[in-house]
Chain A
């Protein structure tokens, strides 16, 4: 047996001091060593190597063939073409083999690598699971739409947990939304009348209380509607899992497998539980969001600016932009209340409540309702303003408002207007020749002082002329190319002068567009504009209906 002296770890300056009298040999090395000669025969091995392959005939080793991977590595090593660290199995362990030269050949030191490899494999599996889970869950949480959420959850369950998945959400109205998914197939969603008691455990899971564990049920017990169309072969196993929500029942997931194997592995079970929890969270968030959106939409309906169109031969157009882009409502408002017929005046109002956002919008709603109630008196602007003033003073709102009232009626080709400003910017009239006139009306704002003195002005629009009511959000838009200037009345008038003869909707669009471009990305107040226009000759304005005019008016 060759003597291999293990170098001492002692100080190199006193090599002679090291372990005199007890020189360890390679036979003592804790790691198995095999010595292979030039022919690849095992010519020696240490104690650890003997323990490694205990069945070998004694010490000469000549009758033992080294494993193939080591023979190959040895051949490459002696041939000078070795690359990397060879590794392979001996028995049920994995070793890396590192060569050192000896007098008899090459000593291969076998370093046991089994545990590291097992740990690496486990880590890779865990990483893979985490990646899958994180992709699944981020997709699950991406939408706040209930049917979409159910679709994603069912599809994922079918792809990762079972051959098919059926997701049932608690009923809205009478029907249950049932989502069917088969692996690799398009998801099918429908609303149907089902009896949850027909599936063991489903009714409890749908109620969300008491908390029930996932439950294996007998495939013979499930009704036909549970099995997706086209499910391959008989159903082997079925599990019903509740989806826990945030205090609200989110639904239940029924997983179907076609095989007969019932049990999930512990990993699969853990994953299924996690999946159910996340799907439940996503679904209940989506449900809460859609309920809130529905409530908001209902409350908002009356606060949104109305769509304007022609009434009794007069063209109306309005545009609104709220200060906060996502809110759609704010402190500006307008309404057009058509007269009972063409011989009656149409009542138009545009106003601006101090403040912005939802609080201001709520007050605009109250003012609009109050004005609606005052419509029988609408011909007397002063009285309307005085009554509205009283109503605002008596309310708990500390806010005030400015507005413009207009009573509009068509006479032949022309349109007559009576206009009253209550502390508001005076309306502007765009004449056919491009002149822009300010309507001479002045008055006090409402909701602040005991009385609201004011002056009503009259004007008449020839065909193609337009009267513009607007709020100060437009003139006080701050921006411009140099960034810090007001849009101002001067620019507005200049823009309007170029709008002579344009239809009202084109004018309000142009005014809003210029103000928006002036602003750039800057902050702004609510902006509203209403155009009241006398139709051009040649335009079918007579009745306001596009379909009702048979002949063309003369030009």
Chain B
């Protein structure tokens, strides 16, 4: 890679503007002419296209673009990738030089972009890649392993709430003798959740993933059971929180309305939004219980507080919801501790409690 030029900020800015404009043609022109000017495909994919995609997410979180713009920009960016990489059928007679791998998203994952980038980079580096895309049901992923006998499965996930599903996929792939390389924000900044769930390896980005594969990923020999990884699940707190999810959300919502009538104000849409916020709280709490890691929960609270404050909603409004939730989970020692620590964490961020408009 060292002899080729890397894209500069100017190209990234121009690409960002074209993608945000929905101007597919200009975006494609930009990367094509960069290719002509001597950039290599991998750098364009990872240093320009991926950078633009990261910016799309950041701009959405900061409330500077709408959900619709985010989707539209992502769709354009996908087309830029398609234009950038040669299609499999026009790639000429050269056989893949390396082995065969499967790139897939965790079931429930809609953000396929990072997985797509990894798939394209691996193809460029000579791997035969089966790209299964977003929302791949685990049974389908496993059946694919029986059919193809991949050298590795690369599993991508962006939301920590997918970790339990990811665990099932990791265990299933390993039990049919295929090692799993996990990646994506869901697995933690340092990949700690990938290790906790028994993945054979973790990579921070596409180049890291390629490096892991090139170093060789041995096949798993000792088959572990899913419960071997997470002995704390024996307390059943995760199971019970998941089973009573609907009741937890409903009761917390009712109590929130009783305490702070302004929360919903009779507006059905607003009530539903509040319920969705509460649903996220409960889902992240459940995941934190599954992983036995309070950071899953507090990281989510930090992120939510950031998103809410970008939209003019005070972060401490979350604390009210947490207080009520704490009462609902008082029979679950681990869960209760996490909720209380989360509330204290948030209070530390934002000063005195003022009942807000969102839970």
Contacts and interface: CB of A to CB of B under 8 A. Distances in A.
A501 B68 contact: yes
Interface in B70-117: 71-72, 74-76, 78-79, 82-83, 107-108, 110
Given A143-B176, A538-B23, A481 B149 contact: no
A152 B25 contact: no
Contacts of B74: 506
A321 B108 CA distance: 12
A481 B75 contact: no
Interface in A282-299: 286, 289-290, 293
B223 A482 contact: no
A539 B83 contact: no
Interface string B101-135: 00000011010000000000000000000000001
Contacts of B145: 143, 145
Q: Most B CB atoms within 10 A — which of A139, A482, A498, A513?
A: A482
B66 interface: yes
Interface stretch (B136-144, B202-210, B315-323): B136-144
A513 B22 contact: no
A328 B140 contact: yes
A499 B68 contact: yes
B76 to A, nearest CB: 7
Contacts of A536: 22
Contacts of B137: 325-326
A142 B142 CA distance: 11
A482 B276 CA distance: 8
13 contacts: A138-B223, A142-B176, A143-B176, A145-B147, A293-B146, A326-B139, A481-B249, A500-B68, A502-B72, A505-B78, A509-B110, A538-B25, A539-B25
A144 B146 contact: yes
Contact of B68 (A145, A498, A540, A549): A498
A480 interface: yes
Interface in A330-346: none
A128 interface: no
B177 A510 contact: no
B72 A481 contact: no
Interface of A: 138-139, 142-145, 147-148, 152, 286, 289-290, 293, 321, 325-326, 328, 480-484, 498-503, 505-507, 509-510, 513, 516, 536, 538-540, 546, 549, 552-553
Contacts of A145: 145-149
Interface string B27-42: 0110000000000000
A539 B135 CA distance: 28
B304 interface: no
Interface string B240-274: 00000110011001000000000000000000100
A484 B246 contact: yes
Contact of A539 (B22, B110, B149): B22
A385 B53 CA distance: 45
B72 A503 contact: yes
Q: List the 10 shortest-distance A-B pairs measured between CB atoms, nearest first.
A: A483-B246, A325-B137, A481-B275, A481-B279, A506-B75, A144-B146, A326-B139, A145-B149, A506-B71, A148-B149
A142 B223 contact: yes
A503 B75 contact: yes
B115 to A, nearest CB: 14
B26 A538 contact: yes
B175 interface: yes
Query: Chain A interface secondary structure, helix, strand, loop or mixed?
Result: loop
Given A143-B176, A482-B246, A506-B75, A549 B110 contact: no
B257 to A, nearest CB: 13
A503 B69 CA distance: 10
Interface in B6-30: 21-26, 28-29
Nearest to A551: B25
B28 A546 contact: yes
A502 B21 CA distance: 11
Give the bracket for the number of chain B residues in contact with chain A.
Answer: 35 or more
B196 interface: no
A139 B25 contact: no
B278 interface: yes
A102 to B, nearest CB: 56
A144 B143 CA distance: 9
Given A484-B246, A546-B79, A546-B82, A552 B68 contact: no
A505 B75 contact: yes
B226 interface: no
Contacts of B58: none
A510 B68 CA distance: 9
Contacts of B147: 145, 290, 293
Nearest to B274: A481
Contact of B25 (A138, A143, A290, A540): A540
Nearest to B75: A506
A98 B149 CA distance: 61
Contacts of A152: 177
Interface in B149-208: 149, 175-177
A528 B82 CA distance: 24
Contacts of B176: 142-144
B221 interface: yes
Nearest to B178: A143
A482 B282 CA distance: 12
A510 B275 contact: no
A482 B83 contact: no
Contacts of B354: none
Contacts of B135: 321, 516
Contacts of B275: 480-482
Contact of B272 (A148, A480, A507): A480
A325 B176 CA distance: 20
B134 to A, nearest CB: 8
Contacts of B278: 481
B67 interface: yes
Given A293-B143, A484-B246, 14 more contacts: A139-B223, A143-B145, A144-B146, A321-B135, A325-B140, A481-B275, A482-B246, A483-B245, A501-B22, A536-B22, A538-B22, A538-B23, A538-B25, A553-B25
A482 B177 contact: no
B181 to A, nearest CB: 18
Given A139-B221, A144-B146, A145-B149, A502 B71 contact: yes
B82 to A, nearest CB: 7
Nearest to A483: B246
Contacts of B139: 325-326
A148 B150 CA distance: 10
A308 B177 CA distance: 35
A546 B140 contact: no
A144 B149 CA distance: 9
A134 to B, nearest CB: 11
Given A142-B175, A505-B75, A516 B110 contact: yes
A515 B75 CA distance: 19
B177 A142 contact: yes
Contact of A503 (B76, B82, B175, B223): B76
Contacts of A148: 149, 177
A552 B26 contact: yes
A142 B173 CA distance: 10
A143 B68 contact: no
